[in-house]
Structure 1
Amino acid sequence: MGSSSTTCLQLILGLLLALGTVAPRVEARAFFVFGDSLVDSGNNNYLVTTARADSPPYGIDYPTHRPTGRFSNGLNIPDIISQHIGSEPTLPYLSPQLTGQRLLVGANFASAGIGILNDTGVQFVNIIRIPLQLDYFRQYQQRVSTLIGAQQTKRLVNQALVLITLGGNDFVNNYFLVPYSARSRQYSLPNYVRYLISEYRKILMRLYELGARRVLVTGTGPLGCVPAELGMRSRNGQCVPVLQQASTLFNPQLTQMLNGLNRKIGSDVFIATNTQLMHSDFISNPQAYGFVTSKIACCGQGPYNGIGLCTPLSNLCPNRDLYAFWDPFHPSEKANKIIVQQIMTGSTEYMHPMNLSTILALDSKA
């Protein structure tokens, strides 16, 4: 065989290999994200609001080492899920770069500060509350229809993976924000939780009406254990009981409501993601996960670095991988990776009725 035909063969082999590595990207399903700062990838950068993460040291461990609007030292939960499903990260819906083919990857509609209720996060002024996130999703589908037609758009949305993260702010930035808040005067905690669940149900039904067929619904983390609450309310570093009670009431009722919705629809559309348990694992035993602490935020000030915002003037830990919390409220990139690992492969205790690996395997056969 002459050298030119060898070169030709190498080229063909190279091309085939290249196609092999590119193919999954084409096959990758679209991914849509709704919710609050735990999953916001930068929408709030485009808004006049105080709920933003667009200045250092946010993004210090992101590939660009610059702030992106993610409330993380690096990647957030949606970014890591995108990696697992073989997709590029979804862009914020408000990003001017979200056009053309990039729309087919999906979109992130999340906005820091929002909750299930429209009066949650009023102090942040201009944020994308959930009715507007859902309206943007409808608008997104119209935009995609002009690219690939209505039928293909419907298929893209039906086959997509959806992540929604709501509820934490309804407690910390509403009910418990100030003593005797309007909502705490209106409802006892158990009744407030029931009200939140009934409102959340309407949001999820609307998402279903808009075409979502595989939706990961996260519960709240252990709200009383985050550095912000330890800094403000804790005695001797113990998790704050009343906030823990809120999580303990909310999360099982959320799972119950999702089971009811799935029964009504006749399909496992909504997947209960037990983020309270996922967080509790490394909060109760940080050393087992390679953390030196789960009480002190890497970036912040005051007790437990839990007071105020993370800014260039804050204390900053040199190694973010040793901290479960990046700032007073948000997990570090390493903690986010542990959470996503449970989303991918966790038992039914963590992911009910099934984990994301099972979903991907089932849907690939469909």
Structure 2
Amino acid sequence: MTSLVALASWLVLVLSLAMAISTTRVEAARAFFVFGDSLVDNGNNNYLATTARADSPPYGIDTPSRRPTGRFSNGKNIPDFISDALGSEPTLPYLSPELQGNRLLVGANFASAGIGILNDTGIQFINIIRMYRQLQYFQEYQSRLADLVGNDEAQRIVSEALVLITVGGNDFVNNYFLVPFSARSRQFKTVRTRSAEGVGDRHRTIGLRPAELAMRSPNGQCTAELQRAAGLYNPQLVQMISGLNSELGDNVFIAANTQQRTNDFISNPGAYGFTTSKVACCGQGPYNGLGLCTAASNLCPNRDVYAFWDPFHPTERANGIIADMILNGSPAYMTPMNLSTLLALDTVTRT
């Protein structure tokens, strides 16, 4: 039986991460499939005519080649650290011409910066791979895999794979809150008003990143409206996951409160070796929070002491801390178990 791990995302966007892992075999490294937005895009947008790109310096400055890879990071992103833990190569972007032959066995990354749950999210980026299209590409991938290894083996590889999905944050920051009185904000105004009362500030994600501080906060404090949005979204996500587990009669979904890890960074950055969680390493304007990172941007000399790489995205080191929480986090963060525990149980089941 395949298990799914769903994780409420940290930091830049209010997202959900989902992982599917097998509980039946252990002979080979698992294939890894990644769906979602810029937090996990590792280069698909390089092949698209879009403004949502990370293919120019200084993106990738801390990679071995010191060249941009299409990741919205100075180095690795969360899927890279998960691949490391699996003992696998990093997944290639699905649109990469290098994704051929045996490289298909590693899996594929279908993510595209700028996408959301809603098809009208990210329209300002023009040409991006919306979620429905990512899933179509996944079907196409399975046909290509079957041509390589046969239908039965392809089905086994896919059913035993690890799947990571992150989506949802852009629906807030690049749609609902993009401009005042947007079509989506007018559509959901009644729901928002009725739901706002009683929502505390436990989830503080969207309003804390440098981009939102620069654009919405004159005094460097969290923006209450964005906090409320996160506070409405995440508890319902966890509730939905719990409901699905109940229906299936098993812990098919595992929830992670990565929001809390974000709050940890914000409230006590020094505990994680960061000197700041408000100012981006690379950017311009207040908090280095305007625009994306370019060759003309301010650039910090030591990326390891910054929680944010650019106005929207974590540094490589912050990504590593989040991935470690996914793998090894305590019950305060992972419910009902972390990924390493699930993998260990999987090994026991197989033997």
Question: Normalization by structure 1: what TM-score?
Answer: 0.83
Report deviation, 1:138: 1.1
Question: Are the structure 2 counterparts of residues 165 and 193 from structure 1 closer, same or farther at C-alpha, using a change threshold of 3 Å?
Answer: farther
Aligned to 2:200: none
Aligned to 1:79: 80
Matched, 1:277 2:278: no
Question: Are the structure 2 counterparts of residues 129 and 221 from structure 1 closer, same or farther at C-alpha, using a change threshold of 3 Å?
Answer: farther
Matched, 1:36 2:75: no
Q: Which amino acid counterpart does residue 229 of structure 2 have in structure 1?
A: A
Report deviation, 1:249: 1.1
Structure with greater proportional helix content: 1
Provide the rounded CA distance (Å) in 1 between the counterparts of 2:275 and 2:311: 16
Question: Are the structure 2 counterparts of residues 359 and 234 from structure 1 closer, same or farther at C-alpha, using a change threshold of 3 Å?
Answer: same
Aligned to 2:175: 174
Provide the rounded CA distance (Å) in 2 between the counterparts of 1:189 and 1:249: 14
Which structure is higher in RCO with an 8 Å CA cutoff and minimum separation 6?
2
- Indicate the SS of the match to 1:27: coil
Provide the rounded CA distance (Å) in 2 between the counterparts of 1:267 and 1:162: 18
- Indicate the SS of the match to 1:153: helix
Unpaired runs of 5+ residues, structure 1, are 1-24, 195-219
Matched, 1:324 2:307: yes
Residue pair 1:35, 1:164 contacting (<8 A) in 2 also? yes
Percent of matched pairs sharing the same residue: 69
Residue pair 1:298, 1:325 contacting (<8 A) in 2 also? yes
Provide the rounded CA distance (Å) in 2 between the counterparts of 1:191 and 1:303: 29
Aligned to 1:286: 269
Matched, 1:55 2:38: no
Provide the rounded CA distance (Å) in 2 between the counterparts of 1:159 and 1:364: 13
1:1-366 pair list within 5 angstroms: 27-188=28-189, 190=191, 222-365=205-348, 366=350
Provide the rounded CA distance (Å) in 2 between the counterparts of 1:359 and 1:191: 37
Provide the rounded CA distance (Å) in 2 between the counterparts of 1:158 and 1:146: 17
Residue pair 2:204, 2:231 contacting (<8 A) in 1 also? no
Provide the rounded CA distance (Å) in 2 between the counterparts of 1:155 and 1:193: 47
- Indicate the SS of the match to 2:254: strand
**Which protein shows a greater Rg?**
1
After alignment, is 318-327 or 249-258 more displaced? 249-258
Q: Which amino acid counterpart does residue 61 of structure 1 have in structure 2?
A: D
Q: Which amino acid counterpart does residue 28 of structure 1 have in structure 2?
A: A
Provide the rounded CA distance (Å) in 2 between the counterparts of 1:298 and 1:189: 38
Provide the rounded CA distance (Å) in 2 between the counterparts of 1:192 and 1:65: 48
Provide the rounded CA distance (Å) in 1 between the counterparts of 2:140 and 2:246: 29
Unpaired runs of 5+ residues, structure 2, are 1-25, 196-202
Provide the rounded CA distance (Å) in 1 between the counterparts of 2:150 and 2:334: 35
Q: Which amino acid counterpart does residue 101 of structure 1 have in structure 2?
A: N
Report deviation, 1:265: 2.8
Deviations 1:75-110 (A, max 9, x none): 000001100111110001101011111101111000
Provide the rounded CA distance (Å) in 1 between the counterparts of 2:318 and 2:303: 10
Question: Are the structure 2 counterparts of residues 57 and 296 from structure 1 closer, same or farther at C-alpha, using a change threshold of 3 Å?
Answer: same
Question: Normalization by structure 2: what TM-score?
Answer: 0.87
After alignment, is 222-231 or 180-189 more displaced? 180-189
Residue pair 1:193, 1:246 contacting (<8 A) in 2 also? no
- Indicate the SS of the match to 2:178: coil
